Structure formats: C-alpha cells, structure tokens
Amino acid sequence: MDLMKLGTQMLLSKISGGNSGNAMSALSGLLGNNDGGLDLGSIVSKMQGGDMANIASSWLGKGSNESIGTDQLRSMFGDDKISQFASQLGTDEDSALSGLSEALPNMVDQASPDGSLLDSLGGIGGLASMASKFLK
C-alpha cells in the first residue's frame, strides 16, 4: 500500500476544500526526509524517547492504535512546521492537526505490519544509512 496515498486520503477526509496534490505535498514536507521519502522512523524514535512511547508502541504493534492528541503533534513537530503544513493544505491549524492525528497512526501502522519499520526504511541498508547520519 502506498503510505502517501493513505495519508493523503485521511487528511482530505478531515479537511474541506483541499486537493490531493496539496495534501500530498504538505504531508511529504512534514513527514519527509531530504531524499523525498517518508521519515516515519525518526518520528517514531522521537516518540519512543519521550512521553509518547506507549502511543508509538501501539502503532507498531498488532493491536489497535492509540490516538495522539493535537497538542502532542504540535509539540513533536513545532509551531512553525504545523503552521506551514496547514498553509499548504489551505486550512486552519486545528483542521490540519485533526487530520494528521488520524493519518499518522495509520501510516505508521501500515508501514510496520510485523511491528518493525525496517522495510519502510529500506531494509538493513536503509537502516545503516540512517544510523550513519546520526553518527556524523
């Protein structure tokens, strides 16, 4: 399943008047890495290192996904990124955050069918590449 399409569909279901091109671009800008791919691994890592560890674990696990609050998302991404995200979507920040709070858990869940984001990171090679960025 294409995670960007899934996320885009979920965002568009929560906001009115948006189009898929804007939503995909906004989502990629918020959740993407420098190579244009999704960087769900670093997002989950941030969560696991803080008070959102249980939420991240539920997204990675096989059970139901715990919800994430809009304040938690704002804290995780920062006001500037959320403002830019909402602007790209052509909506207010509350609507953008509401859509993101629904899309992000499902995107991580779909990217980790076996409880690991390894495949979505490009396997062992992708994991090694990501680790080398941290070690620089």
Tell me if 93 sits within 8 A of 81, measured CB to CB: no
Rounded distance between C-alpha atoms, residue 78 and residue 73, angstroms: 8
**Which of 11-20, 40-49, 85-94, 99-108 is least confident?**
11-20
Domain range list for the chain: 3-135
120: exposed, middle or buried (C-beta count within 10 Å: 0-12, 13-18, 19+)?
buried
Tell me if 106 sits within 8 A of 113, measured CB to CB: no
Length of the chain: 136
Q: What percent of the chain has pLDDT over 70?
A: 76
25-64: pLDDT as tens digits: 898 889 887 666 678 888 888 888 778 999 999 998 888 9
Tell me if 27 sits within 8 A of 103, measured CB to CB: yes
What CATH code would you report for 3-135? 1.10.10.690
- In this prediction the pTM is 0.78
103-127: pLDDT as tens digits: 999 888 888 876 666 444 443 344 3
